[in-house]
Amino acid sequence: LNFIDLMVRQGNIDNPPKTPLVPGFECSGIVEALGDSVKGFEIGDRVMAFVNYNAWAEVVCTPVEFVYKIPDDMSFSEAAAFPMNFVTAYMMLFEVANLREGMSVLVHSAGGGVGQAVAQLCSTVPNVTVFGTASSFKHEAIKDSVTHLFDRNADYVQEVKRISTDGVDIVLDCLCGENTGKGLSLLKPLGTYILYGSSNMVTGETKSFFSFAKSWWQVEKVNPIKLYEENKVIAGFSLLNLLFKQNRGNLIKGVMDKLLNLYTNKKIKPVVDSLWALEEVKEAMQRIHDRGNIGKLILDVEKAPTPLVS
């Protein structure tokens, strides 16, 4: 499960798909069948894959360019947790923001799947300082992966400036709303702000137009002249659009090769929060909605539902 799945369910995305719909954008499993011209894979191979919807199923079909072999020592649940989070984190840090030694990064939702991937990848570069926001009950579990951790409801702008008076080099924002202006205000000269989600638009059980509109109104209007005067970079990143609308599967393959190399060398490892049966998808989604997870929630087609305790 990814946060984008909640946004799809609430219709908070561009061109939401029509129902009936099987959600899900990534999966892992065993190759059952191959197209006539497919090379490089055999029936029985352990693989992980990106899928343009339809991942939450017992059988999934996707073009070969979106499929990758799983390393021998990686479990299926780790593999299902790997592609979206680590490719997103890697591309934002290294392809868009050009992370280098001695830089500083602010990441929101530091306990989530992308947040944990960002923290791990930052640790592969010397002397990178990671500022993170997360719910306070997660701090104990993730404190070792983040240099400076703040409560998600605290005034993190003041906290960051207290530690680093001139701000940070990179801001990774999955919240949107008022955090856009805050993130831009924290950027050092030549710093990069990247928006890669808008989780603040997911509110209650149903889509609320007013919360949606409020979130948009809180987004600071970006003035290009101001960016020029302050030497700041503002960027957006959507892995799904890059894969399925802009046909950059080859670029992603190169990134996956680098990431699997890092995994094999024990530099990175997906964090799995919990496994859920398909019948428990409502409860699993609620856990993400309540921001209760540390790392990734996985739907396991072979898992039986957990009996409810009276």
Which residue among 200, 218, 241 closes a domain? 241
Q: Is the pLDDT of residue 95 over 80?
A: yes
SS3 236: strand
Which residue among 241, 258, 285 closes a domain? 241
- Whether omega for the bond prior to residue 16 falls within 30 degrees of 0, making it cis, is no
Beta carbons of 66 and 98 less than 8 angstroms apart = no
Percent of the chain at pLDDT exceeding 70: 92
Mean pLDDT score, 195-210: 60
Q: Quick one: 74 and 128 in the same domain?
A: no
Q: How many CB atoms lie within 10 A of CB 302?
A: 9
Percent of the chain at pLDDT exceeding 90: 71
- Distance between alpha carbon 279 and the CA centroid of its chain, in Å? 24
Pairing of strands 168-173, 187-195: parallel
- Distance between alpha carbon 193 and the CA centroid of its chain, in Å? 16
Q: Quick one: 207 and 121 in the same domain?
A: yes
Nearest by Cα to 101 from 127, 120, 78: 127
Q: Quick one: 230 and 276 in the same domain?
A: no
Q: Collect all residues with Cβ–Cβ distance below 8 Å to 309 and sequence separation of at least 6.
A: none
- One-letter identity of residue 52: N
Q: What is the pLDDT of residue 107?
A: 96
Q: Quick one: 137 and 253 in the same domain?
A: no
pLDDT band at 307 (very low <50, low <70, confident <90, very high): confident
Q: Quick one: 288 and 221 in the same domain?
A: no
Nearest by Cα to 236 from 180, 186, 169, 187: 180
Range of the domain at 102: 84-241
Number of domains in the chain: 2
Q: Collect all residues with Cβ–Cβ distance below 8 Å to 258 and sequence separation of at least 6.
A: 90
Q: Is the pLDDT of residue 212 over 70?
A: no
Q: Quick one: 64 and 100 in the same domain?
A: no
The burial of 35, by beta-carbon neighbours within 10 Å (0-12 exposed, 13-18 middle, 19 or more buried), is given as exposed
Q: Is the pLDDT of residue 153 over 50?
A: yes
Q: How many Å apart are CA 81 and CA 86, to the nearest integer?
A: 9
Q: Quick one: 197 and 113 in the same domain?
A: yes
pTM (2 d.p.): 0.92
Q: Is the pLDDT of residue 202 over 80?
A: no
Nearest by Cα to 192 from 173, 170, 174, 172: 170
**pLDDT tens, position by position, 270-297:** 999 999 999 999 999 999 888 888 889 9
Q: Quick one: 25 and 92 in the same domain?
A: no
Beta carbons of 130 and 149 less than 8 angstroms apart = no
Q: What is the pLDDT of residue 218?
A: 56
φ, ψ of residue 265 to 5 degrees: the values are: -90, 10
Read out DSSP for 3-52?
Answer: HHHHHHHHT-SSSPPPSS----SEEEEE-----TT--S--TT-EEEEE-S
Q: Quick one: 127 and 159 in the same domain?
A: yes
**pLDDT tens, position by position, 100-137:** 999 999 999 898 889 999 999 999 999 999 999 998 88
Q: Quick one: 94 and 141 in the same domain?
A: yes
Residue 306 included in any domain: no
More confident residue, 309 or 142: 142
Q: Is the pLDDT of residue 174 over 60?
A: yes
Q: Is the pLDDT of residue 220 over 70?
A: no
Q: What is the pLDDT of residue 205?
A: 47
Of the listed ranges 58-62, 130-134, 147-151, 176-180, the least confidently predicted one is 176-180
φ, ψ of residue 245 to 5 degrees: the values are: -110, -30
Q: How many Å apart are CA 45 and CA 59, to the nearest integer?
A: 15
**pLDDT tens, position by position, 16-55:** 788 899 999 999 999 999 999 999 999 999 999 999 999 9
Which residue among 217, 241, 265 closes a domain? 241
Q: What is the pLDDT of residue 206?
A: 47
Q: Quick one: 264 and 143 in the same domain?
A: no
